[in-house]
Structure 1
Amino acid sequence: MLDSSPLLEFSHTHCVAICAFLVPANLLSTLQTIVYVGLKRPVGKIWQTVGLASLFALLMVLHVLTWFVVGVVMLPTFVLLMLGSVCLSTNLWAALHPQSMRRLLHYLGCKLKALWAFTASGATLS
């Protein structure tokens, strides 16, 4: 039978280093996936970024679950679990239905462009 205690011990001993790597890795790789979808990159490139970003997100979720196993239930564990879950679901969305993500990005870009033109004209929101 597989003994998971060394893995749990490693995860707990090096928690700060693991999180210091995984948090930016999750954010940057998921952002890269979103940018690739928005720029209509080839499907192969999108799948590569989705794979890497999903790996980081899954590692984050598994790392947080090791803390739940030993009974650590605190705000940072929930925040990190939410970060990993949101990044994982965003990457799955990009992989399984990039057209809808592209439509949303286009819509947000149009709204941002309109807001930029509105504020550049000197008008204010009252």
Structure 2
Amino acid sequence: MLNFNTLAEFSRTHCISICAFLVPAILLATLLTIILIGLGRPTTQVCQAAGMASIFAFVMVLHVYTWFIVGVVMAPTYILLCLAITCLLTNLVAILYQRHQVNSLSFSNNA
């Protein structure tokens, strides 16, 4: 069974590596979601891209919270937390927008 203390210590020990992977992954995956909406791709593709971006962002939130647990309150922790929350909200809005577009198209086709 996984121990939370061990995972939190791993997260803090490998912070540079984790952030070096997660920051570009979050940004690129969120950008992909926005591009897919702009191209008018199907809802399944948009939801998959948004889901992957949200997973990356959620992992970043957990990573930042491991620093808050030990009392590290600095600008980078808030910046990374804001990045993750912004990307989570962007992906949520993208999914809602996509579903709204699909519903409005199906409504106009039925009328």
TM-score, normalization: structure 2?
Answer: 0.85
Pairs aligned (count): 101
- Stretches of structure 2 lacking an aligned partner (at least 5 in a row): 102-111
Bigger helix share: 2
Distance 1:16 1:59 in 2: 14
User: Counterpart of 1:19 in 2: which secondary structure?
Assistant: helix
Q: Following the alignment from structure 1 to structure 2, what is the Cα–Cα distance between the partners of residues 86 and 32?
A: 15
**1:37-82 deviations in whole A, cap 9, x for unaligned?**
1110011100110110000010111100110011000000000000
Aligned alpha-carbon RMSD (Å): 1.8
Runs of 4+ in 1 over 6 A off after TM superposition: none
Matched with 1:51 is 51
TM-score, normalised by the number of residues in structure 1: 0.75
Larger radius of gyration: 1
The question of 1:21 aligning with 2:21 is answered yes
Identify unmatched segments of 5+ residues in structure 1. Answer: 102-126
Q: Quick one: percent identity of the two aligned structures? A: 57
Other-structure match for 2:105 = none
If asked which structure has higher relative contact order (CA below 8 Å, sep 6+), I would say 2
For 2:90, the aligned partner's letter is T
Q: Deviation of residue 96 (structure 1)?
A: 1.6
2:96 aligned partner = 96
